[in-house]
Amino acid sequence: MENQVIIFDTTLRDGEQALTASLSVHEKLQIALAIERLGVDIIEAGFPVSSPGDFHSVQEIARTVKNARVCALARAVEADIQACGDALSVAEQFRIHTFISTSDVHVQQKLRKGFDDVEAMAINAIKFARKFTDDVEFSCEDAGRTPIDNLCRIVESAIKAGATTVNIPDTVGYTLPNEFGGIIQQVFNRVPNIDQAVISVHCHNDLGMAVANSMAAVQAGARQIECTINGIGERAGNCSLEEVAMIMKTRQEFLGVHTNINHQEIARTSKLVSQLCNMPIQPNKAIVGSNAFSHSSGIHQDGMLKASNTYEIMTPESVGIAKTKLNLTSRSGRHVIKHRMESLGYKETDYDLAELYKDFLALADKKGQVFDDDLEALLFNIQQQDEKDFYSLETLNVQSGGGEFATASIKLAVGEQKVIEAATGNGPVDALYRAIKQAVDVEFEVTDYKISNKGSGEDGLGQAHLVVAWQGRNFHGYGLATDVIEASGQALIHCLNNISRAQTIAEIKEQKKEANG
Ligand code: KIV
Ligand code: ZN
């Protein structure tokens, strides 16, 4: 049996559908490029029929990504599959992933159909998808709770209809590892044409067993794992990519399988996804948590000093966590920054050194020492500014303390115009947000606001994360500055720019509709 396990990343589909605020096209593209660089084989970029924004981002990802195959999701209906074909056709090769539920509870309660109808819909959908591509994946949703006879029957029919990958999801994270491994084993033993397709698994983490179940499936013969960065996804999330990748690397001899993952890209990709998705990582999370390589007890520290393999089964460097932490100051030259970025895993072509150096000097002047985390935060901030923005905050003055009210005055660029506004509020952020609201013609509501420390030490950078609701949709934005009020202002402006992009996409879609009569 083939000993490469295909890594199918669904961060941008299953992961994204669980976020409070959807990602912009630019953010999805950034994640897709990071995932491509991580070495995943297949990127599930979205669900094109679900919204014009999703269609557009799937298309952009399919156009841009070259070293991974891009895939999109469709229910087992022609309109969904057509949308996948339309969005993906800009790529030379692509995959269409179509699915339908197969468990009794889903078939009877959700679909209100019989199993024969479901099987017929699956066959039709696969045949239709094959008209666009010869790479078609079929998923039996809720396979973990599907009677085994029905599961084997539909897997056989799907392969006969032309599915080249058949996915067996544990959609509700219900099974135990030996039980799920047993299901995969039975599928291999009972489906006569099983050798004509790759068997995939897609495990959710409701009982904390997504990774264990995926590995049990691999031991039973599955050769594709569907997973997400940091395990994000519906409810308790999906199988975590970094965990399965490091299991197959660390226990390769025992398991006898490998992946194409560039393990040293793990830490960086994980940070990017956590930032962009506004999903903090728990400190004790395996592989990428901030404590994953910290040793606290005296006995452990003593062991580590004698030999690191006493308490570390893999090194932090093997997942891309830099060993040395060098403190940089305004006296550090450009070449030092370039060298430091290289040790953090960034090639010179990944960023504009002149731009980063300019921001670095400004920060070093404000806070003295600049640490690795600060540099990465600055780079992250620059990357978010790559898009042309409709709004930008040019000046900001806030006064608070002592009195009853805080006051804020702002100058805002709104397209080609400059707008000046002032407002009072019950605190500096409230005053600032009221002034911005007066300056823009957008009815929004702030639904979540968080400030966190980015970078190192008491004088690290402040990062504001914001979620605003607009016309029934949530938009996420962030801002980074040494001053938390400024960071808060930038976060709101970021949200407003994301709203403005969503408006443009909706308008283009409307115009197209009108043009097509
Ligand atoms: O969890 C699930 O079953 C899914 C399918 C669409 C593969 O996400
Ligand atoms: Zn899922």
Q: Are 421 and 395 in contact (CB under 8 A)?
A: no
Nearest protein Cα to ligand 1, atom 5:
141
Ligand nearest to the CA of 80: 1
In order of 80, 154, 224, the CA distances from 273 in angstroms are 27, 35, 22
Task: Determine the distance separating the centroid of ligand 1 and the alpha carbon of 138, expressed in angstroms.
Answer: 10
Q: What is the pTM of this model?
A: 0.87
The answer, yes or no, to whether any atom of ligand 1 lies below 6 A from the CB of 99, is: yes
Task: Determine the distance separating the centroid of ligand 1 and the alpha carbon of 240, expressed in angstroms.
Answer: 15
The answer, yes or no, to whether any atom of ligand 1 lies below 6 A from the CB of 238, is: no
Residue 375's nearest CA partner among 349, 348, 338, 347 is 338
Sequential pLDDT tens for the chain (517 residues) = 689 999 999 999 999 999 988 899 999 999 999 999 999 999 999 999 999 999 999 999 999 999 999 999 999 999 999 999 999 999 999 999 999 999 999 999 999 999 999 999 999 999 999 999 999 999 999 999 999 999 999 999 999 999 999 999 999 999 999 999 999 999 999 999 999 999 999 999 999 999 999 999 999 999 999 999 999 999 999 999 999 999 999 999 999 999 999 999 999 999 999 999 999 999 999 999 989 998 877 888 788 888 999 999 999 999 998 765 567 888 888 988 998 888 887 888 889 999 999 999 998 888 788 888 888 888 888 887 666 789 999 999 999 876 778 999 999 999 999 999 999 999 999 999 999 999 998 999 999 999 988 766 666 788 899 999 999 888 988 898 889 999 999 999 999 998 998 888 777 767 777 777 6
The answer, yes or no, to whether any atom of ligand 1 lies below 6 A from the CB of 150, is: no
Q: How many CB atoms lie within 10 A of CB 153?
A: 17
List CB-based neighbours of ion ligand 2 within 5 Å.
14
> In which order are the strands placed within the sheet that holds 461-470?
445-454, 461-470, 473-481
Give the nearest ligand 1 atom to 234 CA.
Answer: 1
